[in-house]
Amino acid sequence: MTSQGLYVDGVTVTFDGFRALNNLSLLVEPGELRAVIGPNGAGKTTMMDVITGKTRPDTGIVRFAARDLTKLDEAAIATLGIGRKFQKPTVFDALTVFENLELALKAPRGPIACLRWVLSGVARARIEATMEQIGLAARREDLAGLLSHGQRQWLEIGMLLMQEPELLLVDEPVAGMTDHETEQTAALLRGIAGTRSVVVVEHDLEFVRALDCRVTVLHEGSVLSEGSITHVQADPRVIEVYLGR
Amino acid sequence: MREPSHSVTRRGLLAAPLAAGLTAPLAAPALGQQAPIRVGVLHSLSGTMAISETALRDTVLMMVEAQNAQGGLLGRRLEAVVVDPASNWPLFAEKARELLQLSRVDVTFGCWTSVSRKSVLPVFEELNGLLFYPVQYEGEEESRNIFYTGAAPNQQAIPAVEYLLGADGGEAKRIALLGTDYVYPRTTNRILRGFLNSKGIADADILEEYTPFGHSDWQGIVARVKRFAGEGKKTAIVSTINGDANVPFYRELGNQGIRAEDIPCVAFSVGEEELAGIDTRPLVGHLAAWNYFMSVQSPANTEFLTMWRNYIRNPRRVTNDPMEATLIGFKMWAQAVTAARGTGVDAVREALYGQKVAAPSGYEVEMHRNHHLSKPVMIGEIRADGQFDIVSRTPTAIVAENWSPFIPENANRRR
Amino acid sequence: MPWLIPRGLAAALALLLFLSAPARAQEYEALLPGLAGGFAQQAETVERLGLLGDPRAIPLLQAMADARLLRLADGSLAPQQGATPPEGATLIRINNRVRGALRGALGRLQLVSPDPAERSRAAEGILRNRSAADIPLIEAALAREAQPPIRARLELALGGARLASEDVAVRREGIAALGASASPEARGQLLAARAANAELLPDIEAAIAAIDRRLQLRRAAETVFQGLSLGSVLLLAALGLAITFGVMGVINMAHGEFVMLGAYTTVVVQELCRGIPELAPWSLPLAVPAAFLVTAAIGAAMERGLIRHLYGRPLETLLLTFGVGMILQQVVRLAFGAQNREVISPDWMMGTLLLPGGVAVTQNRLWIILFALAVLLACFAAIRLTRFGLEMRAVVQNRRIAATMGIRTGRVDAMTFAFGSGLAGLAGVALSQIDNVSPNLGTGYIIDSFMVVVFGGVGSLMGTLIGAFSLGLLNKVLEPYAGVVLAKVAVLVGIMLFIQRRPKGLFALKGRAADQ
Amino acid sequence: MNRRLVLMLCVLALAALPAFNALPADHPLHVPDFLVSVVGKWICYAILALAIDLAWGYAGILSLGHGAFFALGGYAIGMHLMRLIGPRGVYGHPVLPDFMVFLGYTELPWYWLGFDWFAFAFLMALVVPGLLALVVGWLAFRSRITGVYLSIITQAMTYALMLAFFRNDMGFGGNNGFTDFKELLGMPLNTGATRAVLFYASLVTLVLVFWGCAHLTQTKLGRVLTAIRDAESRTRFLGYNVTRHKLFVFVLSAMIAGLAGALYVPQVGIINPSEFSPGNSIEAVVWVAFGGRGTLVGAVLGAFSVNALKTWLTSVAPDLWLIVLGLLFVIVTLLLPKGLIGLLRRRGS
């Protein structure tokens, strides 16, 4: 298949007999923006867990940049260029905004390297630029724990950008955001896609429409439907799943 | 119930520099003629050894109180300084230094375990202090700053084993040496092995087993001893099991039906105090070897028991050998101070040599130049009421051999 | 003392059997003063009295064995009646040698007693005489004995007696009889007989080999029992932790001290019962609820007063409870003294029980195994069947929802912690039967209990059960090879490696719920 | 700046102790030997507290087995001190220490080789605890054993070591451990001058370790550790190999603890297996909690204050000190979650 994109084939994950993912297959091209939707329990988060190495699949293939992800741990997968934003924003509360971004900055990650790390001018400039981009420049010295919910979402997106990932996995990025912020976020994600792949998991169909991309619908751990938003919304199976049986 | 003489001590130490801060030095008051004589008490009051050592603290306090009631020593009052080294060996050394340098004690009564004695020994030697050590131990030591009032191996272990080999003891042909894994049992058993070999008992007829401190599950080992005993020769157990481990050991012995008539067990670390925690009915006839038993009939013992009961105000509290050794040590020290007309360590040391005390054991014991006492050896059988029937005793007090002839390396010892 | 009638009957029987001449009565009188002599003389006198067969000796010898024989002021001997000896009387002291002789003599004299317990003891006593002189005596007793356990012992005794015979054929019979047993004593006797019986050596070796085969099986069974016993102690110590740590996530470093408090409650109950003769034999069963209530109450107070403020901060709880443990230990030390306290075992918990196949198990440990299983069952029942159990599970799974449904979560927390603490108290009651009752009692068990809970899987009672028993067994299987200490070290290292493979223990919760 | 001044004053005050000790005994400012040796001991404890704080306060690794690393460091130096006794032992054996002589050893066990060189022993005081931490840490962190589980595992580690070292067959002197030391680096151990040298060596080490830890926590590694402490999984998704970072700090912390033990043993003159007892490790953690975890000053303050209190109370109230100390732990964890230092800072601001 493709050598650069994300390739998921026949992945099954069971927890105590419950099939969270059932023979799931997915292909994301380099530079593609993809939205993944589905009702609660459809397996969206588990899919992210499998890709990022948090959960090991029982069977199936997960490949990115020609590497078998099922053999790697979270850190190695992240270093490979897969960044993840969690549903609940998780930033480091005891560190400042600047330090949060500095930690995310693409750089050698080993303990000795960290010990000897000196912030270069170029790196500082990058962090400054990102802070501008996410609108937190004024709060650079504040502890992340003091930020509002929306600001934490942005900070986390900022951290994702600092990682310079090839593939971004974004879990419900606009939860708790105002309409204006939602629009901004959609624009940001659209801007990122093109140079790198982005997979967005979302409930908010308005937001998905704003993303204007290919949509995958998950149901009971496998792909129910795939295509443009209009195509998907017209699919009778999707309607059945969403509107009740 | 707690003793009154304590509060005096506390006031004295409250003034210690630690209260004032880390750096405030102690301006030690010059000891005038009227200043009290200070008696250090270095026994663990918490931690694993508290179980044995608190009674010795009480004994020293009792003796101090009695001496003060008689007008003190040399016209000066005695004052006890009690500290808690908490069963922690480095803390023993620290507290020893504190007693000698801060509290300026004239004499110290303390330690139970060998390791605590080894820990304080350099301190007492460096600062030229005086320590009375009241517990039976493995020997192989002689410090000019320590007086050993407990038994050396030849004053306890060897006579006891001799008894087992004799007609009254059942003519044992096989011996199981059970001990806690530390230096006293190891050394004692080494000496005993040498002794047994000299009596014609081969190594194949000796079983040696060690267990950790506080060992509580004796099923396997008692079963193994039973098997060892089942080889057709009269077998006896020699136990150097220490402290806490004895209760579960004796319970297992009783429950597995090992009776004293079949496999007698003689112990060197089990006295009245340890038996107070055990239901002794199944253990009747098992033995212990000491230099004193509470059941001894002698005027000195009657006096000791009365004094103890009046002091502790609990009719069920017992006396035991280390308590008697503490009492002997205290009396000897008091006599030596009187003889030396002062508490200076060097003078008291010289005065101690040859000091004699009519001990509660009913014998007259004497301090020798090897810093050890001559002591009688008694073998007692456990009774149903937790006391001992004395079934054998040496006719006279025996001089201590703190350097055992059964340890060949002692020939090369530095003197 | 209900001496007279049954003993009189026995005496009459014995008299019929052995008293052939009235001259013996005189010899009896002449022997008696020897009982008050030195140990050697005592032993010899006892032996001769046993051979003489005069039943009048029975009460005297029995009293002597029980340390109740008095030498009265007039020089005559009599058993002590009542609590204090009369004026001028002295107690006759004996030693082990005399005690052994007494057992043998009483064995001879009481072998035909109508009381089965007495006969059983007599058989035990005569077993150790190993004298050819006993052969006719034992044969006569065997002829009328109906009870199988006593018969077995008598047969063994007969074998032993025959082995001491002058006649080679009789000796051969004896060897065969001993070889048919599975008794270590018989094996010992055979081993000892090897030197004197060169001509019978093949028979003896075969008999020993036969015994060894039977003993090997028995030894394996005994090792299993020892393992189960250790396991049951671990189970008891760990059950409380499985609740407080496993269910509530509270690290209670004072758990060992709760065990210790349970043991001290046993002591106190025993002291209270001592004054009331009807209650005295029941002090241990009475201590069970008492210990549960006392430790549960202290646990509840501790939860409400201290731990409640630290939920969600497990490491702080650890330090706090460590401090509480220090306080409890020293308070008990000041209140009860640092010395061990004596706990008397009821008679039904003492001694050894012979299972079929000759496997000997100690009664107290057997009771503790049963007690541990009973406590475990009660735990299951409390959690699965009671309202409290339901509420507890609800609060554990989702505190907020439970609260919205009207469950008073604070009360449930307190009760759960009290329950766990109460279980620790029960462990204390059991441990008072095998270990020291001292302020340090608990410290020896805390680490082992944590290991059991972690190994078995936190939050799973089943895991605790399996964990405790498998660790107990493993320890006892390794012990003969590695020694006590290395066996324990090996088990600890084994657990560390195991946890590495399965971080959540044997019975782990899986899936998303386990990640939190 | 103000704080730095206070710290420097404290160090100077400590440094003055042996100097005042050298004054004649009747001088009003004379400090008794006792105080010098006791404070020297506390300094070693403070280094241990720093080691624990580095792992617990900064990286969230609560080890209840740091006493084991401390004791191993102590044993390494203890072995050297034993070798230095040479033929001056009781039995006058040219090579074997006394305990080996009476246990019937005929030659030195292989693992005693090399310990006659100070440099080797000193190296081992760092390497052995470090290696143990590496193995245990690797096993634990790799399988993501965290929080309470890690605490219990490390507790089991020190417990197992204690049991093992109590065995006389191990060749480490069993229960009696090592005592009767004579000299170190040519200095006889029982003189005031040597005590002063050891005191200063400890003080300098404390300052260096403090400075090193302070520096480390200021680097990006320090921030990564904080990140791991607060959100381990998130840090992993950022691409940090958490296992490696934790292992690094755990091993470093174990080596610092070993260093503390190595300084401690020559000063107290004894090392025995009870140093491995789990209670000791927990107590050391309590110092850190008491002083205030997550701040280096807090760890040092905690070690000094708890031990000073203990030294004082065991003399003043030998029957009640456990209760007083226990109550204090309860109060601090309950009311002062940030420890003494939190209280001082609140007062200060």
Domain around C66: 4-216
Structure tokens at C207: 């008999």
Q: Is B273 part of a structural domain of the chain? A: yes
Note the pLDDT tens digit of each residue in C487-513: 888 988 888 888 877 777 777 654 333
Q: Are residues D117 and D249 in the same domain?
A: yes
Residue D136 to residue D64: CA distance in whole angstroms: 13
- Widest CA span of chain C, in angstroms? 96
Tell me phi and psi for residue B322, to 5 degrees.
Answer: -60, -30
Which of D90, D182, D85, D102 is closest to B141 using CA atoms?
Answer: D90
Q: Are residues B174 and B302 in the same domain?
A: no
Q: Are residues C19 and C52 in the same domain?
A: yes
Q: Is A103 part of a structural domain of the chain? A: yes
Q: Are residues C315 and C443 in the same domain?
A: yes
10 Å Cβ neighbour count for B199? 11
Residue D46 to residue D27: CA distance in whole angstroms: 30
10 Å Cβ neighbour count for B189? 24
Last residue in a domain, options C160, C186, C216: C216
D5 to chain A, closest Cα gap in Å: 26
Last residue in a domain, options D276, D296, D326: D276
Structure tokens at C265: 């409650």
Q: Identify the bridge partners of residue B375 per DSSP, sorted by sequence position.
A: B398
What is the per-residue pLDDT for C23? 66
pLDDT at position B303 over 80: yes
Q: Are residues B175 and B254 in the same domain?
A: yes
Task: Report which DSSP code applies to B25.
Answer: P
Mean pLDDT of B9-28: 37
What is the per-residue pLDDT for D342? 82
Residue B8 to residue B27: CA distance in whole angstroms: 19
Cβ within 8 Å of C, B 209-268 = 210-212, 214-217, 219-221, 223-224, 226-227, 229-233, 244, 247-248, 251-252, 254-257, 260-262, 264
Per-run averaged pLDDT (10 residues), chain D, 349 residues: 78 81 77 85 95 92 93 94 85 83 83 90 95 92 83 90 88 86 84 87 94 91 89 85 92 96 92 90 90 89 91 84 88 84 76
Strand intervals (E) in B186-232: 206-211
Q: What region, left, alpha or beta, does residue C508 occupy, with left being phi > 0 and alpha being psi -120 to 50 degrees?
A: beta
Task: Report which DSSP code applies to B71.
Answer: T
What is the per-residue pLDDT for B82? 93
Residues 6 or more apart in contact with residue D43 via CB below 8 angstroms: D14, D199, D202, D203, D205, D206, D263
* Cβ-nearest to D314 among B84, B90, B118: B84
Rg (alpha carbons) of chain A, rounded to whole number: 18
Q: Is D21 part of a structural domain of the chain? A: no
Residues 6 or more apart in contact with residue B18 via CB below 8 angstroms: D308, D311, D312
Q: Are residues D263 and D349 in the same domain?
A: no
Q: Are residues D197 and D236 in the same domain?
A: yes
Q: Are residues D188 and D328 in the same domain?
A: no
Residue D234 to residue D236: CA distance in whole angstroms: 5
Angle between helices D147-166 and C461-501 (to 10 degrees): 80
Residue C120 to residue C264: CA distance in whole angstroms: 37
Q: Is D51 part of a structural domain of the chain? A: yes
Q: Are residues C306 and C206 in the same domain?
A: no
Q: Are residues D161 and D288 in the same domain?
A: no
What is the per-residue pLDDT for B19? 37
pLDDT band at B2 (very low <50, low <70, confident <90, very high): very low
Would you say how long chain C is, in residues?
Answer: 516
Which of A74, A78, A51 is closest to A159 using CA atoms?
Answer: A78
- A103 chain-D contacts, CB cut-off 8 A: 220, 223-224, 227, 235, 238, 240
Q: For residue A30, what is the domain's CATH number?
A: 3.40.50.300
pLDDT band at C49 (very low <50, low <70, confident <90, very high): confident
Contact (Cβ atoms closer than 8 angstroms) between residue D242 and residue D232:
yes
- D237 chain-A contacts, CB cut-off 8 A: 52, 74, 78, 83-84, 86
| Mean pLDDT value across chain B | 86
What is the per-residue pLDDT for B374? 94
What is the per-residue pLDDT for D195? 86
What is the per-residue pLDDT for D17? 80
Given an 8 Å threshold on Cβ–Cβ distance, is B167 in contact with C337?
Answer: no
Q: Are residues B158 and B252 in the same domain?
A: yes
C508 to chain A, closest Cα gap in Å: 11
Percent share of chain D, pLDDT over 70: 99
Q: Are residues D74 and D176 in the same domain?
A: yes
Strands B131-133 and B107-110 come out as: parallel
Q: Are residues D293 and D268 in the same domain?
A: no
Residue recorded with tokens 């179980």: B51
Q: Are residues B73 and B115 in the same domain?
A: yes
Mean pLDDT of C314-337: 88
Last residue in a domain, options D217, D243, D276: D276
Contact (Cβ atoms closer than 8 angstroms) between residue B394 and residue B374:
no
Q: Tell me the residue type at C397.
A: Q
Residue C190 to residue C208: CA distance in whole angstroms: 7
Q: For residue C289, what is the domain's CATH number?
A: 1.10.3470
Mean pLDDT of A188-195: 80
Q: Is A84 exposed, middle or buried (0-12, 13-18, 19+ CB in 10 A)?
A: buried
Q: For residue B123, what is the domain's CATH number?
A: 3.40.50.2300
Would you say how long chain D is, in residues?
Answer: 349
Structure tokens at A19: 């099939």
Q: Is D5 part of a structural domain of the chain? A: no
Structure tokens at B341: 């007309």
Structure tokens at C323: 């401090």
Given an 8 Å threshold on Cβ–Cβ distance, is D238 in contact with A163?
Answer: yes
- A15 chain-C contacts, CB cut-off 8 A: 510-512
Q: Are residues B165 and B275 in the same domain?
A: yes
Selected for mutation to probe chain A from D142, D236, D237 (highest A CB count within 10 Å) is: D237
**Looking at the complex, does the CB of residue B389 fall below 8 Å from at least one CB of chain C?**
yes
Contact (Cβ atoms closer than 8 angstroms) between residue A92 and residue A100:
yes
Q: Is A223 part of a structural domain of the chain? A: yes
Q: Are residues D288 and D259 in the same domain?
A: no
Q: Is D139 part of a structural domain of the chain? A: yes
The number of distinct structural domains making up chain C is 2
Residue B27's SS3 state is coil
What is the per-residue pLDDT for C4? 41
Q: Is D12 part of a structural domain of the chain? A: no
**Which chain C residue has its CA at the smallest distance from D167's CA?**
C485
Q: Are residues B28 and B133 in the same domain?
A: yes
What is the per-residue pLDDT for D250? 95
Residue D218 to residue C251: CA distance in whole angstroms: 33
Contact (Cβ atoms closer than 8 angstroms) between residue C296 and residue D43:
no
Given an 8 Å threshold on Cβ–Cβ distance, is A18 in contact with C511?
Answer: yes
The number of distinct structural domains making up chain D is 2
Q: Is B1 part of a structural domain of the chain? A: no
Q: Are residues B285 and B403 in the same domain?
A: yes
pLDDT at position C248 over 70: yes
Which of D48, D47, D51, D20 is closest to D34 using CA atoms?
Answer: D20
Chain-centre distance for alpha carbon C116: 23
What is the per-residue pLDDT for D236? 86
Per-residue DSSP letters for A159-196? HHHHT--SEEEEESTTTT--HHHHHHHHHHHHHHBTTB
Q: Are residues D197 and D317 in the same domain?
A: no
In angstroms, the first-to-last Cα distance of chain B is: 48
Q: Is D156 part of a structural domain of the chain? A: yes
Note the pLDDT tens digit of each residue in D236-288: 888 888 899 999 999 999 999 999 999 999 998 889 898 998 888 988 998 99
Q: Do chains A and B touch (3 or more CB pairs under 8 A)?
A: no
The number of distinct structural domains making up chain A is 1
pLDDT at position B26 over 50: no
The Cα-based distances of D115 to D80, D118, D124, D329 in angstroms read 5, 7, 9, 40
| Mean pLDDT value across chain C | 83
Q: Is A90 part of a structural domain of the chain? A: yes
**Looking at the complex, does the CB of residue D330 fall below 8 Å from at least one CB of chain C?**
yes
Q: Are residues B262 and B285 in the same domain?
A: yes
Angle between helices B89-97 and B114-126 (to 10 degrees): 30
Contact (Cβ atoms closer than 8 angstroms) between residue D220 and residue D92:
no
Q: Are residues C390 and C297 in the same domain?
A: yes
The residue ranking higher by pLDDT, D344 or C356, is: D344
What is the per-residue pLDDT for C100? 84
Say what the pTM is: 0.86
Helical (H) or strand (E) element with B347: helix B345-352
Q: Are residues C200 and C226 in the same domain?
A: no
Mean pLDDT of B201-208: 91
Helical (H) or strand (E) element with B237: strand B235-240
* Cβ-nearest to B84 among D41, D270, D318: D318
Residue C401 to residue C394: CA distance in whole angstroms: 8
Q: Are residues C75 and C181 in the same domain?
A: yes
Q: Are residues D242 and D285 in the same domain?
A: no
Helical (H) or strand (E) element with B40: strand B37-42
Structure tokens at B368: 């020798």
Q: Are residues B275 and B399 in the same domain?
A: yes
Residue by residue, what is the 3-state secondary structure of chain D?
CHHHHHHHHHHHHHHHHHHHHCCCCCCCCCCCHHHHHHHHHHHHHHHHHHHHHHHHHHCCCCCCCHHHHHHHHHHHHHHHHHHHHHHHCCCCCCCCCHHHHHCCCCCCCHHHCCCCCHHHHHHHHHHHHHHHHHHHHHHHHHCCCCHHHHHHHHHHHHHHHHHHHHCHHHCCCHHHCECCCCEECCEECCCHHHHHHHHHHHHHHHHHHHHHHHHHHHCHHHHHHHHHHHCHHHHHHCCCCHHHHHHHHHHHHHHHHHHHHHHHHHHHCCECHHHHCHHHHHHHHHHHHHHCCCCHHHHHHHHHHHHHHHHHHHHHCCCCHHHHHHHHHHHHHHHCCCHHHHHHHHHHC
Structure tokens at C316: 């702080």
Domain around B97: 6-151+297-372
Q: Are residues D341 and D312 in the same domain?
A: yes
Q: Are residues C483 and C353 in the same domain?
A: yes
The number of distinct structural domains making up chain B is 2
Q: Are residues B260 and B407 in the same domain?
A: yes
Domain around D318: 277-349
- A99 chain-D contacts, CB cut-off 8 A: 223
Q: Are residues C248 and C396 in the same domain?
A: yes
Note the pLDDT tens digit of each residue in B376-405: 999 999 998 889 999 989 999 999 998 888
Residue D186 to residue D202: CA distance in whole angstroms: 18
Given an 8 Å threshold on Cβ–Cβ distance, is D244 in contact with A104?
Answer: no
In angstroms, the first-to-last Cα distance of chain A is: 37
pLDDT at position C54 over 90: no
Q: Are residues D77 and D95 in the same domain?
A: yes
Last residue in a domain, options D276, D304, D328: D276
What is the per-residue pLDDT for B5? 38
Task: Report which DSSP code applies to B239.
Answer: E
Note the pLDDT tens digit of each residue in A99-133: 988 888 888 888 888 888 888 888 888 888 888 88
Q: Are residues B316 and B267 in the same domain?
A: no
Domain around A52: 6-243
pLDDT at position B315 over 90: no
Contact (Cβ atoms closer than 8 angstroms) between residue A168 and residue A197:
yes
Residues 6 or more apart in contact with residue D190 via CB below 8 angstroms: B122, B125, B126
Q: Is D15 part of a structural domain of the chain? A: no
